[in-house]
Amino acid sequence: QVQLVESGGGLVQAGGSLRLSCATSGRTFSAYPMGWFRQAPGKERDFVATISWTGGNTYYADSVKGRFTISRDNAKNAIYLQMNSLTPEDTAVYYCAASKDLVVSRRYSRSGYDYWGQGTQVTVSS
C-alpha cells in the first residue's frame, strides 16, 4: 500500500512560480513510476507529467512543457512539481499518483495509476 500527501499549493499571481511536493509512505516507493494530474472546476482530471521510477525519464502534457518540471528524490520518498510562468489556466487541484505500470503511454491517463493523494489547490490570479 502507498499513501500520498500533496503540499505546496496556494495562491500566486500570473507569471509566478510554485513548487508542489508529494510525500509518500511505503518501502517500495522507489519502484513506482509517479505522476501529477490536475482537475479544474467542472473539468476532467488531466495528465500533467510523469516520471520513471529512476527519475531518468520524464514526460509532460503539451500545455505545461517547458514551464513545469517533475522530479523525485527516492531517498526522501518524495516527488515534486516545479511550476513556472503560471497562468490562470493552470488553476486546479493538483494530484500526485503512483503507478504499477512501466508502460509510459498508459500513464497518460488516470487508469494507469493505482494510488492517489487527496490533492492540493493551486490558484493563479490574473
pLDDT digits (tens, 9 = 90+) for 1-39: 789 999 999 999 999 999 999 999 876 777 899 999 999
Contacts 24+ apart (CB under 8 A), 69-73: 70/34, 70/35, 70/36, 72/34
**Distance between CA 11 and CA 71 in Å, rounded?**
22
Longest CA–CA separation in the chain, Å? 42
Q: Supply the pLDDT for residue 29.
A: 76
Q: Supply the pLDDT for residue 37.
A: 98
**Distance between CA 66 and CA 34 in Å, rounded?**
19
Residue-wise pLDDT for 77-89, tens only, equals 999 999 999 999 9
Is residue 12 a contact partner of residue 86, using CB atoms and an 8 Å limit?
yes
Average pLDDT, the chain: 94
**Distance between CA 13 and CA 30 in Å, rounded?**
34
Q: Supply the pLDDT for residue 15.
A: 98
The percentage of residues in the chain with a pLDDT greater than 90, rounded to a whole number, is 83
